[in-house]
Amino acid sequence: MIDGSTGVCALLGDPVEHTLSPFIHNSLAECEKINSVYTAFRVRRGDTGTVLKGAGAMGIRGFNVTVPHKEDVIPYLCDIDEEAAKIGAVNTLCLKEGGYKGYNTDAAGFMREIRECGFDIRGEKVIMLGAGGAANAVLHALYSLGVSGVYILNRSVERAFEKFGGDKRNRILSLSDYEEIEGDGYFCVQCTSVGLFPDTGAAPIEEEGFYKKINRAVDIIYNPSETAFMKRIKQVGGTAVNGLDMLLFQAVESFRLFHDRDVSESTIDLVREKLKERVYGRS
Ligand code: ATR
């Protein structure tokens, strides 16, 4: 029941119509018996400063931030978490004295998914496909997990070079130059938007020779549940998971920051099932 003491959290983005964040956060609050609601606001570029000023005055407890505001909201924060500052993007804001503090839970969400899959990538050279918005947090997470280097393959080599070329541990290649990666047995994370519903037949690289280099993979896409990239990995005997747990775990970490409490494993399992039903329908 919404009453006079119900807390409010929300997503800020543009567009927001298809977001799953309200579904996840309201399910978490219901399971954890927290008196809080979560909604979504479409906010145009340039309006985030005004929004945060008003929201802070109204005591809105927290926000998630998505495209196109993950970077442009930073100047309006009163503080930023060290990890989020290194990534250069925030996806979570929490109300503090004097304004909102920014965090990035995308990296934590990805790290938790990798750990829970049992993928131990410490000390390995790994492969990342893509250099867009999602790649920033993933790359940060890969190094936090202890990888020794990352082959970054992107359609636009210039974009990848501009963003990630400054770190000598990264080797930037075009998607077609995958043969320069020596040997096999690699972990690979797919961060491009290729294969996303409704374009489900497409994979960022078509050649089987690429997939033979990989034995473990994560596609951060979660719709469809098995992308063309994942299918190709499985066809050559590898293990591949989608990004649904990353989505769930980043929300769980944001929820922990909003409400200052951990979410129980049983709640996570319950919400995961509800989320699967919502995204994929009854199986
Ligand atoms: P996001 O915030 O979801 O990462 P983005 O910033 O637009 O979205 O990045 C999308 C990623 O998918 C980029 O790596 C993009 O490659 P470019 O940097 O060359 O644009 C990649 N991508 C999108 N469409 C692609 C396609 N048809 N083939 C290969 N890569 C593609």
Amino acid 20: pLDDT: 98
Interatomic CA distance for residues 228 and 92, integer angstroms: 31
Q: What is the CATH number of domain 7-104+245-280?
A: 3.40.50.10860
The pLDDT tens digits of the residues spanning 233-245 come to: 999 999 999 999 9
- Does residue 133's CB lie within 6 angstroms of at least one atom of ligand 1? yes
Q: How confident is the model at residue 213 (pLDDT cuts 50, 70, 90)?
A: very high
- Looking at ligand 1, which atom is closest to the CA of residue 202? 27
Containing 24, the helix (H) or strand (E) segment is helix 21-31
Q: Is 125 a catalytic residue?
A: no
Q: How far is the CA of 281 from the centre of ligand 1 (A)?
A: 28
The pLDDT tens digits of the residues spanning 98-153 come to: 999 999 999 999 999 999 999 999 999 999 999 999 999 999 999 999 999 999 99
Amino acid 67: pLDDT: 95
Question: Could you give the angle at which helices 265-280 and 244-259 cross, rounded to 10 degrees?
Answer: 130
For residue 230, which amino acid is it? M
In CATH terms, the superfamily for domain 108-242 is NAD(P)-binding Rossmann-like Domain (3.40.50.720)
- The whole-model pTM stands at 0.96
Interatomic CA distance for residues 220 and 193, integer angstroms: 9
What is the pairing mode between strands 92-96 and 62-65?
A: antiparallel
Nearest to 86 by CA among 140, 135, 166, 165: 140
Q: Per-domain residue ranges for the chain?
A: 7-104+245-280, 108-242
- Does residue 150's CB lie within 6 angstroms of at least one atom of ligand 1? no
Q: How far is the CA of 39 from the centre of ligand 1 (A)?
A: 28
Fold match flag (7-104+245-280 vs 108-242): yes
